[in-house]
Amino acid sequence: MVSRTDCEDDPSASPSPIRTLALPHLALIAVQIMFGSWPIAGKVVLRSMSSTALVGFRVVGAAIALLLMHGKMGELRRLPRRDLGLLVLCSMLGVVLNQFLFVKGLSLTSVINATLLSVTIPVFALVVSIVFGYDRVSLRRIIGILLAIGGVVYLVDPLRADFSAQTRAGNLLIVTNSLAYGAYIAISKDLFKRYGALTVITWIFAIAAIVTLPIGAYSIRKMDIQSVGAGVWLAVAYIIIVPTVMAYYLNAWALTRVSPSTVATYIYLQPLIAFGLAPFLLGERFNTRVVIASILIFAGVGVVVKRRRSQASQEVTKRPDAFAH
């Protein structure tokens, strides 16, 4: 008979339960660091490259990487033709519009503002779900929506809207991006349920790459490639590999081992990571308007994703691309 001590000393013994439980949580923390670092790396690249060029590199690069990943893991599953229209719509909302609006908005506003406004995605997903009849209206949800929208309105400050002021134009682009992405989350849930996250994400990026490639190529042709430094190219490679492919894969892996409510807890680390890094790496600073808007937006989102969450909020927590701009 083998003693308990012998088993614990045996290196060939199976991993400890503590380690098995800890790995998904470590993966989720890593995912939020990856996603939270993307706007900061993007801001660095945008100093030397146009927003359309960066989108072209990221979308096409991510599509190639995801297709190669499927080549290693097994053949990419073909989806029925009846789902082609929905797949194209999801690709346009979830990647093409999402990327162009977010990256252009990021070039015109701060990382702190962009990340804060992106937190409203679950609220926009709920609004779209209610409009399409996927979710029901309740007093609590209305309060949450109004709180979050109040924070957005206060940060964007439409009463003083001056579209020559870069941050306001950038903020509005980020809000529009969040609305488009919320709609994508709401309408794409059936595809993810039927065919799996990694398969659907790969197809969505592949279709988006076909649309994005000519736009990005035109922008790249106008660039002075030789003036782009090695550090910028490393940042582009980082954006493609780390906060896109690696983050999607790790989050999908973690979702097979922990509950969606656990994922929801970690998702909201992402803006806190960006808030913490942006002042040190980019010299950005908080102001009173950002602090007040943060309180309103986080309170509104907190009310929306509270216990007995809506279907839309559950979809956000279950998805590996929930805040993956």
Q: According to the model, what pLDDT value does residue 97 have?
A: 93
> Which of 120, 169, 27 is CA-nearest to residue 323?
120
Rounded Cα distance, 94 and 204, in Å? 8
**DSSP 8-state class, residue 15:** P
pLDDT digit string (tens) for the chain, length 325 residues: 444 444 444 444 555 666 667 888 888 888 888 888 888 898 889 989 999 999 999 999 999 988 888 777 777 788 898 999 999 999 999 889 988 999 999 888 887 778 777 777 777 777 777 777 766 777 777 787 777 777 766 765 655 544 446 678 888 898 898 888 888 877 887 887 788 877 888 899 999 999 999 999 999 888 888 888 999 999 999 999 998 888 877 876 776 677 655 665 566 666 667 667 667 666 666 667 767 777 777 777 667 656 555 555 555 555 555 555 6
pLDDT for the residue 246: 86
In angstroms, the CA 60 to CA 82 distance is: 25
Give the pLDDT confidence score for residue 45 in this predicted structure: 93
| Domain assignments of the chain as residue spans, ordered by start | 37-318
pLDDT of residue 6: 45
Exposure string (b/e) for 186-225, b if CB count within 10 Å is 16 or more?
A: bbbbebbeebebbbbbbbbbbbbbeebeebbeebbeeeee
pLDDT of residue 20: 67
pLDDT recorded at residue 325: 61
The pLDDT value given to residue 87: 93
